[in-house]
Amino acid sequence: MLLSRSQSDFSLSLSLRRSIVLFVASHRSLRYTSIMTLHLKNFAERYRVTNGKNFKLKDFDPGDTWKCKSKEAAHDLLEHSLERLSEMQEKLYAQDEWSLLLIFQAMDAAGKDSTIKHVMSGVNPQGCEVTSFKAPTSAELDHGYLWRCHKVMPERGRIGIFNRSYYEEVLVVRVHRELLDKEKIPPPLVTKNIWRERLEDIAALERYAGRNGTVIRKFFLNVSPAEQKKRFLARLDQPEKNWKFSAADLGEREHWSEYMNAYQDLIQHTATDSAPWFVVPADHKWFTRLVVASVVETLESLKLEYPKVNAAQKRELTAARTTLLRTK
């Protein structure tokens, strides 16, 4: 068959386009495979702490990006992780047995909010609840410090995200002792052991939750003071970021080493197999997101599945189908 010039150009460009698409697709999947086999299963392990006995914060570099050289190299991997996370959430919801609690702690401007936003972007909002914990209200101060968090632990089938958490009670309250006075704890109970006792109680709460089907993963977004300074300056210099700046956050920089000691101590005492800490490098936001997404994805080990229908339920479904077909 003779083709007119424009037709042949068109078919040529079509086949060319098809080859390009095929080439890009195979190239992409190659990239997936190489980055994934190299990194994915090791991401989580690299930053995971399950036994805090010898944990030292100085062994973790906030600027680390491991073998990922650039934001671009990480892009496909992050997308892939987000897709898998979305599938996992659907099964978690359908199975209605496990729940997942993700806890985020960090110094200011480490990127908690944006990491939560990105990592959960593909997840059905109906199956997920984010709770931010600020300075406690007077009603909250009338209860033990675990109360406000325990009330909002995720129910079965759901993902709960804590943006800050009961860990503030061994961080900001430890660094600023005057906050403890506001908690109205009977004085004989406030001894020099109070921080150790709090860490024990937190670990006990997490053990209890774990034994009841809540899988806990805890993230410390580890930003360096130099990168924090850069981000604060951006908040001052860029009008659209001005709203994020708080002079109080600046004051906290003076207590940096006290905070780091408190973080080290809490990780040493609350890192367990069932509720591990991940010390996530946070000087590069794209890398932070990648590590968090990879950790969440490793929950595949839960073997989540859609509930199976038994023979009787199958018969019911067939009957329902017949009835439905009979209707207009």
Residues that bind ligand ATP (CB under 6 A): 108, 112-113, 133-136, 163-164, 168-169, 172-173, 179
Which residue's CB comes closest to ligand ATP?
Answer: 168
Shortest distance, CB of residue 75 to ligand ATP, whole angstroms? 26
Strands 277-281 and 159-163: unpaired
Please say which residue, 90 or 183, places its beta carbon nearer to ligand ATP: 183
Shortest distance, CB of residue 141 to ligand ATP, whole angstroms? 9
Shortest distance, CB of residue 240 to ligand ATP, whole angstroms? 16
Please say which residue, 172 or 194, places its beta carbon nearer to ligand ATP: 172
Please say which residue, 38 or 250, places its beta carbon nearer to ligand ATP: 250
- For residue 90, CA distances in Å to 5, 107, 151, 255, 294 come to 51, 32, 24, 42, 17
CA–CA distance, 20 with 185 (Å, rounded to integer): 68
User: Max CA-CA distance within the chain?
Assistant: 98
Please say which residue, 113 or 258, places its beta carbon nearer to ligand ATP: 113
Please say which residue, 243 or 308, places its beta carbon nearer to ligand ATP: 243
Instruction: Determine phi and psi for 255, rounding to 5 degrees.
Output: -100, 20
Shortest distance, CB of residue 74 to ligand ATP, whole angstroms? 24
Shortest distance, CB of residue 174 to ligand ATP, whole angstroms? 10
CA–CA distance, 64 with 281 (Å, rounded to integer): 6
DSSP states of 245-303: --HHHHHHGGGHHHHHHHHHHHHHHH--SSS-EEEEE-SSHHHHHHHHHHHHHGGGGG-
